[in-house]
């Protein structure tokens, strides 16, 4: 079966697609249109973020660390992205970052999220980041599983953390402590 985008199922079909065919590359401004599209798909689920819109590139760029930002590509098509954001500007938290991982709707379930998160973990430790954290809606079971498999643990549930479309939402706080960085 040839690779194609199935407009009805909106899934990426390729029986030969494996994670070793996915290239992980640094995310740059030239990727922004594809990254923004994938981000908007996540926003549309209402289970990925409190954000209601994707910011312009300069705002997104400023709010994320300059290192540890990646795209997942198959051939020339960007199918996912991941990046780290600082949790605070205070120097004592310089080794703590928040994880964002988004996969294109049509490519979910192909292992791209796993590969992106593994790259973030590996390179964050090289950047001396000792704690990665993620805030995940409890309804987002796929993201909770992804992070658990990558070594994150649930720290707690932040109840009624924010209101979204008139409804209060809980957030599961997860973290992964490095056994390499910050020790």
Give the residue-averaged pLDDT of 39-59.
93
Cα 90 off chain centre by = 24
CATH number of 4-131: 3.40.630.30
The confidence band for 165, taking pLDDT boundaries of 50, 70 and 90, is: confident
The span from the CA of 92 to the CA of 172, in Å, is: 24
Q: What percent of the chain has pLDDT over 90?
A: 74
Residue 47 token pair: 């289970």
Lowest mean pLDDT among 12-16, 57-61, 130-134: 12-16
The confidence band for 17, taking pLDDT boundaries of 50, 70 and 90, is: low
User: Is 5 a residue whose pLDDT tops 50?
Assistant: no
Domain boundaries, the chain: 4-131
DSSP H or E segment with residue 57: helix 57-63
Global pTM value: 0.87
Lowest mean pLDDT among 1-5, 48-52, 153-157: 1-5
């Amino acid at each position: 079966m040839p690779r194609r985008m199935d407009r009805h199922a909106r899934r990426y079909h390729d029986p030969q697609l494996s994670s070793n065919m996915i290239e992980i590359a640094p995310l740059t401004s030239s990727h922004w249109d594809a990254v923004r599209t994938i981000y908007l798909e996540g926003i549309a689920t209402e289970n990925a973020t409190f954000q209601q819109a994707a910011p312009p590139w300069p705002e997104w760029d400023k709010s994320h660390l300059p290192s540890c930002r990646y795209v997942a590509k198959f051939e020339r098509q960007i199918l996912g992205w991941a990046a780290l954001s600082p949790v605070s500007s205070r120097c004592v938290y310089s080794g703590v970052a928040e994880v964002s991982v988004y996969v294109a709707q049509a490519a979910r379930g192909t292992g791209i999220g796993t590969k992106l998160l593994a790259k973030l973990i590996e390179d964050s430790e090289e950047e001396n980041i000792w704690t990665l954290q993620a805030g995940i809606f409890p309804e987002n079971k796929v993201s909770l599983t992804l992070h658990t498999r990558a070594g994150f643990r649930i720290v707690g549930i932040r109840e009624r953390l924010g209101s979204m479309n008139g409804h209060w939402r809980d957030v599961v706080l997860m973290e992964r402590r490095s056994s390499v960085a910050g020790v």
